[in-house]
Structure 1
Amino acid sequence: MHKPLTHRERLLRVFSFQSVDRVPNYEFGYWKETIDRWHNEGLPQHIKSDKDVEKYLGLEGIESLESIPVVVGLWPPPIEFVLREEDDKEVVADGLGGIYVRKKYVSAVPHYIRFPIRSKDDWKKIKRFLDFETPGRISLNWSDIVEKYRNRDYPLRIFVGSLVGWLRDWMGIEGLSKAFYRDPDWVEEMVDTIADLVVKILDVVLRDVVPDMAWFWEDIAYNKGPLISPKLFEKYIVPRYKRITKLLNAYGVKIVVVDCDGNIELLVPGWLDGGVNCMFPLEARYVDPYKLRREYGEKILLMGGVDKMALIAGEKAIDKELERLTPLLEEGGYIPTVDHRVPPEVSYKNYLYYIERKREWLEKHHP
């Protein structure tokens, strides 16, 4: 009898288009309102977080994937505080000079009424939070962390930041767009500052620990296409990706994920050119994974793509959705998950059906 593959081996083999005993069983998490609903439909009350749900249902990630504990991004963390409350909303100072409104009782994207970066002076203040030399980015227990990961049989990832998504958050898409037009040198400085920080952290980390994947977060597309011109993206952003991925590749990190919702098709060529090769979460209403595979072959890795609307519709729709994705699963280079966090319109009964059917599907169909 063959020895079963480890979780780590499955991940690496799937993304190398090699045969596996089954594809890893990943999911992308849940809205708080979804878990609240499921508590009334049979999910035990003590199961509260994404990781809790994944463990309870026997899933392997994505929230449960281990990440190397280093701080890539703002440090020290800005101190937020509530300025005032308005019925079901709070007006919050973000600690960086910005002010946003958030809803108290539901999961929703905060609405900024004043972005942190409105001028170069604002940027100079925030830039100090991106200084590699600030103590605390890398734990003083680093040698213990290195030892822990030495003989692991599970996959390990490292978060490598956001070259556009963070700027969008700090400036707003209108502010960032104007900056590209009026002062592209300033935009380059900001992107270089982020890339410099990532490279300096990787220079330290990769000497001792080589993760199995690197993970960008961007969220720079919506249902109709990208929030940034592909031309600007390829001119100003892609060269900075290359700096980061060149270093990752030199140490053997071949899986570089970008988390970006919406219709990403026009950005994919730039990502691939920049060494970012795994697209996630492939929102089914906006992205056709088969089209991406036809266009880019084994250059592109895919993760996500299961239409959340099928889980809302019920058992027949779930069966049909898994059937739709079967050829892609069998081809390799693909790990299926729901194409975003599971929304509260999905009943616990439907989700349990999906998980059980998916488990059987992964056992039956694989590269």
Structure 2
Amino acid sequence: MNARDRFLAVLDGVQPDRVPTFEILIHPTVVEALCPGGNHADFLEKMDIEGAITGTPSSLYAKTVVDREKHIVRDEWGVTRGVGTEVVPMPMGGPIETMDDLRDYRAPDPWAPGRLQQLEDLAARFRGQRALGVHLHDSFSYPTYLMGMDKLLMALHLDPDLVRALVDLSVEHTLGMIEHAAKLGAEFVLFGDDYAATAGPLMSPKSFEEFLLPGLRTVVAAARERGLRVIKHTCGRISPLLDMIVDTGINALHPLDAAAGMDMAAVKRQYGDRIAVCGGINCGEVLSDWTPEQVREEVRRRLEELMPGGGYIMSSSNSIHSRVRPENYGAMIEALHEYGVYPA
């Protein structure tokens, strides 16, 4: 198996020759430390990372400077964002407060020239060699950006029609992005909306089922119909939502963070005949504070627990952020390649 086949095999429910890996984000400082002078694609090749995915959805939209001194920009959605030390600019405010605001609003064009240039570049370099992925949103993130998280969650009860309209707008945009990505050669899509915090879901399961689940189901079905595998990412303690998420037809779930109370091995036992699981290595402590030898031992331990029978893609518990020690990420990959091989 080459890297592409290995990654897609897991998403297709087939045991590969070795446990594959990918990350939804790798900070440039880690890239430079482990691959001096190289770009992100060079890094993927050097580290032999099987899943080659575009940057976070925010990176797919142009931004204009609002306040240079305060490092504030506005993206194509009309959302203001604060630019910090991490890769993703944090949303600060959106243009939608009422249904009247929404009537005159137009989402960005999913087919705009260069919209998926990152995917085109990855395809030109890795087509047939590494699994080509695109990172998109499903039914929750864009509404939270456009209204603000607190206002949107209150609107679930105070203005449900506005929430439904925002979800519809978001889903319609994502459907265009899926079609665009499929035509450019994407082989999997990761939907990156977070539904929960460490304590639990950001809304009741009933509200999730009513407002967000239909949109998630729609975009998952659209991706699968176009031959794309689907990885669903959501941070937090999502136990009350698991049945609904798995029932949408996803291929894999990421990252099932133990720090949020998620037991990846238990999820694999319960749903492993339907989905793969992705994650396993804590990025807030293990990859940031431990020694490389401790990281290697943690990788070995997690592989013993999660790799039997296939259905496992190793990754960090969220992303390779700026606090991750490059030597620890390097140790993780080395240990994965050493210990993550299935018997012939």
Same fold (TM over 0.5): yes
In 1, the alpha carbon distance for the partners of 2:76 and 2:4 equals: 39
SS of 2:133's equivalent? strand
Question: In the alignment, is the contact (CA less than 8 A) between 1:272 and 1:300 conserved in 2?
Answer: yes
Question: In the alignment, is the contact (CA less than 8 A) between 1:188 and 1:236 conserved in 2?
Answer: yes
How many Å apart are 1:164 and its aligned residue? 0.2
In 2, the alpha carbon distance for the partners of 1:298 and 1:227 equals: 28
How many Å apart are 1:17 and its aligned residue? 3.5
Q: Which deviations, in whole Å up to 9, do the C-alpha atoms of 1:56-100 show, x marking residues without a partner?
A: 3x22254xx156x9xx9999x454213252xxx434445655544
1:46 paired to 2:23: no
1:260 paired to 2:234: yes
Query: 1:59 and 1:6, CA in 2 relative to 1: closer, same or farther beyond 3 A?
Result: closer
SS of 1:190's equivalent? helix
Q: Gapped runs of 5+ residues in structure 2?
A: none
Corresponding residue for residue 90 of structure 1: 71
Question: In the alignment, is the contact (CA less than 8 A) between 1:31 and 1:342 conserved in 2?
Answer: yes
How many Å apart are 1:329 and its aligned residue? 1.0
1:219 paired to 2:188: no
Corresponding residue for residue 339 of structure 1: 317
How many Å apart are 1:289 and its aligned residue? 0.6
SS of 1:298's equivalent? coil
Where do residues 227-242 of structure 1 align in structure 2 (5 Å cutoff)? 227-242=202-217
Q: Which deviations, in whole Å up to 9, do the C-alpha atoms of 1:111-131 show, x marking residues without a partner?
A: 62x433222233334x41245
Letter in 1 for 2:37: H
In 2, the alpha carbon distance for the partners of 1:170 and 1:330 equals: 43
In 2, the alpha carbon distance for the partners of 1:55 and 1:16 equals: 23
In 1, the alpha carbon distance for the partners of 2:199 and 2:186 equals: 34
Letter in 1 for 2:332: Y
1:80 paired to 2:64: yes
1:119 paired to 2:119: no
Q: Gapped runs of 5+ residues in structure 1?
A: none
Q: Determine what percentage of the aligned residue pairs are the same residue.
A: 24
Structure number with larger C-alpha Rg: 1
Superposition CA RMSD, Å: 3.9
- Tell me the number of residue pairs that the alignment of Structure 1 and Structure 2 aligns: 338
TM-score by length of 2: 0.80
- Which of 100, 115, 139 is the equivalent residue of 1:163? 139
Question: In the alignment, is the contact (CA less than 8 A) between 1:210 and 1:252 conserved in 2?
Answer: no
Question: In the alignment, is the contact (CA less than 8 A) between 1:258 and 1:276 conserved in 2?
Answer: yes
Query: 1:229 and 1:17, CA in 2 relative to 1: closer, same or farther beyond 3 A?
Result: same
